[in-house]
Amino acid sequence: MLAAIETTEPPLLSRNSSQAPSELQQIVTKALQKDPGQRYQNAGEMLEALKGLHHKLDFAAELKRSTARHFWLRWAQSSTALTLTSLVGVLALAFVFYWMRNPTTSSMLEKSIAVLPFENLSSDREDATFADGLQDDILTSWQELPT
């Protein structure tokens, strides 16, 4: 085991974890160098390297969150958004005016009254003529009424 530690290089972090950043691999590789002159000279140097990596990862994460959060704000301030919003508004107003100009047929129905013919229940022929005349008189007088 001691011979393997002194002679062979350790496996890369990416072999065990695909999410490990390359900067972390560089820190680990430097810490495990066989030559003491190529390693970190003290824990403070290694800590500074790890803090730098931590700061870089935090900055990248915050940038990603900020970009996602402000996407809608940037889009809303663009001229394309203004144009699309204006177009939708104009189309909505045009639809309302068109609909108001051409109301549906159900609201345009005219009022009407049907006068059915009177039935002559007697056998007298003169009563049949009277029933027909009565229907015509009712229709004529109703046509003269104001609507």
CA dihedral 13, 16, 21, 23 (to 10 degrees): 0
Q: Is the dihedral of CA 109, 113, 116, 117 positive or negative?
A: negative
Measured CA distances, 97 to 67, 101, 105 (Å): 41, 6, 17
Residue 49: per-residue pLDDT: 92
* Per-residue pLDDT at 140 exceeds 90: no
Categorize the per-residue pLDDT at 52 as very low, low, confident or very high, splitting at 50, 70 and 90: very high
Residue appearing with tokens 């560089």: 26
Query: Residue ranges of the domains in the chain?
Result: 7-69, 79-108, 110-147
Categorize the per-residue pLDDT at 7 as very low, low, confident or very high, splitting at 50, 70 and 90: confident
Most confidently modeled range among 7-16, 40-49, 90-99: 40-49
- pLDDT, tens digit, for every residue of 91-113? 998 888 887 776 555 555 677 77
